[in-house]
Amino acid sequence: MVTRELDLVLFGATGFTGSLTAAYLAQHAPAGLRWALAGRDLAKLTAVRDGLGPQDAGLELLVADVSDPDSIAAVARRTRVVATTVGPYLSYGEPLVRACAEAGTDYVDLTGEPEFVDEMYVRYHQTALASGARIVHACGFDSVPHDLGVRHAVLTLAAEGPVRARGVVRASGLLSGGTFNSALTQFSRGRQMVEAHRARRKAETAGPPPARISRAVQGRPGRDPVLGRWLVPLPTIDPQIVARSGATLAGYGSSFSYSHYAGTKTVRYAAGGALAVGALAAAAQIGPARRWLGAKLPSGAGPDDARRQRSWFTVDVIAEGDDRRVHTRVSGGDPGYAETSKMLAESAMCLALDRNPDVAGCLTTAQAMGEALTTRLVAAGIRFEVC
């Protein structure tokens, strides 16, 4: 790795979230970090670089396209870490994962697509193990606050017996266009998601046994006795990510289970949220309806700075075990864009610069970076608290 020309390449820098990530790196990357922007349109890359300021006028621009495997492989061979915002990942993500796994290059993305994550594990986990690459999915709001938030809670609890945890999300802000379109795609691919999950489970059984039984448990709607919030189960990738961390990392008890919810003030809001998710899932089964909804919030678009400044999120984690309970909270600003770009950038810099666990393959943020990334995010303004 010391012979690589670059430390970090941001792929997809011309999109909305990509440009925010580039701006964050320009403001917060340490002196001496060798980084570059990559994408398929040189003119747009130049415009992004010009917007970063005169201090980054010499930033290298790399032209690469997922439809050209040679160009993607060339990017992967030149750098230690690639961070990508190009989704939906099920459509555009595989060439870059393959190139990084083969080149021994670390990789981070923003996917919230379970089918994509499972397929990449089946196809490239062993390749990444052999090359030493760390392939880390879901390095944005999906699923950093949940994965690292649960890790923070269970380490604080320090239970030796079975541990049960639940995460409750509240947020004010617009869902990103990329996340929304990825969700629509996943809702329409239920059978394929199940098949990909089964293939991953089969592949996992061929490897070393997990440290413990760790499960994502479908929760039930109801009122949380600790938070006083009404809960709606959330069908996101986050429970799967958390459960995979819980299967291998120390501190998650003798067995571990996790449930994931949205929290609302009243039962009326909870019922409305459940109906909205159901209606979205139903509409996603119909091609014209899915395309119409996707056009309403297209990938690559997002709110202005004033709207982002008003947005916020909290993730409350309740961890229980050994007849004790711990309540922790992760909180920050705009989840869909500002904090997501921050999390992606800090994840990439963490892999490039920090001392991390000696692991490789397809990993979660807690497995690959754990305390080092938590420390970075706290320094960047995201709060991890014991309530």
For residue 170, is pLDDT > 90? yes
Rounded Cα gap, residues 126 and 207, in angstroms: 10
Looking at the DSSP bridge assignments, the partners of residue 363 are: 136
For residue 277, is pLDDT > 80? no
377 vs 208 pLDDT, higher one: 377
Percentage of the chain surpassing pLDDT 90?
74
Rounded Cα gap, residues 19 and 106, in angstroms: 21
For residue 293, is pLDDT > 70? no
Rounded Cα gap, residues 225 and 238, in angstroms: 22
Rounded Cα gap, residues 48 and 22, in angstroms: 8
CATH of domain 144-332: 3.30.360
- Write the CA distances from 80 to 25, 62, 100, 107, 150, integer angstroms: 16, 15, 9, 9, 29
The average pLDDT across 247-254 equals 96
Inter-axis angle of helices 144-157 and 238-248, nearest 10: 40
Amino acid code (one letter) for 306? A
Rounded Cα gap, residues 294 and 28, in angstroms: 33
What tens digit of pLDDT does each residue of 304-322 get?
677 777 789 999 999 999 9
Rounded Cα gap, residues 15 and 10, in angstroms: 11
For residue 152, is pLDDT > 90? yes
For residue 2, is pLDDT > 60? no
The average pLDDT across 111-137 equals 97
Q: Where are the domains of the chain?
A: 6-141+338-381, 144-332
Q: What is 6-141+338-381's CATH number, 3.10.180.10, 3.30.70.360, 3.40.50.720, 3.40.50.2000? A: 3.40.50.720
State the pLDDT at residue 369.
Answer: 98
pLDDT band of 207, cuts 50, 70, 90: confident
State the pLDDT at residue 172.
Answer: 84
